Amino acid sequence: MPRQKKGEVAINHDYCKRCNICPQFCPTKNLEIVGGKLVSYDRCIACFNCERYCPDLAIEVVKIYHVETTPAG
């Protein structure tokens, strides 16, 4: 089973200055500047590094809570 994503990265493109700090702090390479724009993929583990180090308040990480289910039987 693929690793479940644990967070959603909300990027405010009006605030983001594409300084390239957050992609280098992300332990799962979930963030990247592509064609002059910051994009996020689905590998967020909700460590909050990007949000913490962003000098421009351009990132908010929202945790995703997964409900643990026990397989039937």
CB of 56 to other proteins, least distance (A): 5
Residue 32 within binding range of other proteins, rule CB under 8 A = no
Query: What Å distances lie between residue 51 and 14, 30, 39, 54, CA to CA?
Result: 15, 13, 14, 5
Number of residues engaging other proteins in binding (CB under 8 A): 22
The answer to whether the beta carbons of residues 58 and 16 sit under 8 Å apart is yes
Residues 38-67, interacting with other proteins (CB under 8 A) = 48, 51-58, 60-63
Distance in angstroms (rounded) separating the CA atoms of residues 56 and 42: 22
Q: Which stretch binds other proteins (CB under 8 A): 13-21, 37-45, 64-72?
A: 13-21
The answer to whether the beta carbons of residues 45 and 4 sit under 8 Å apart is no
Q: For binding to other proteins (CB under 8 A), which residues are involved?
A: 14-15, 17-21, 24-25, 48, 51-58, 60-63
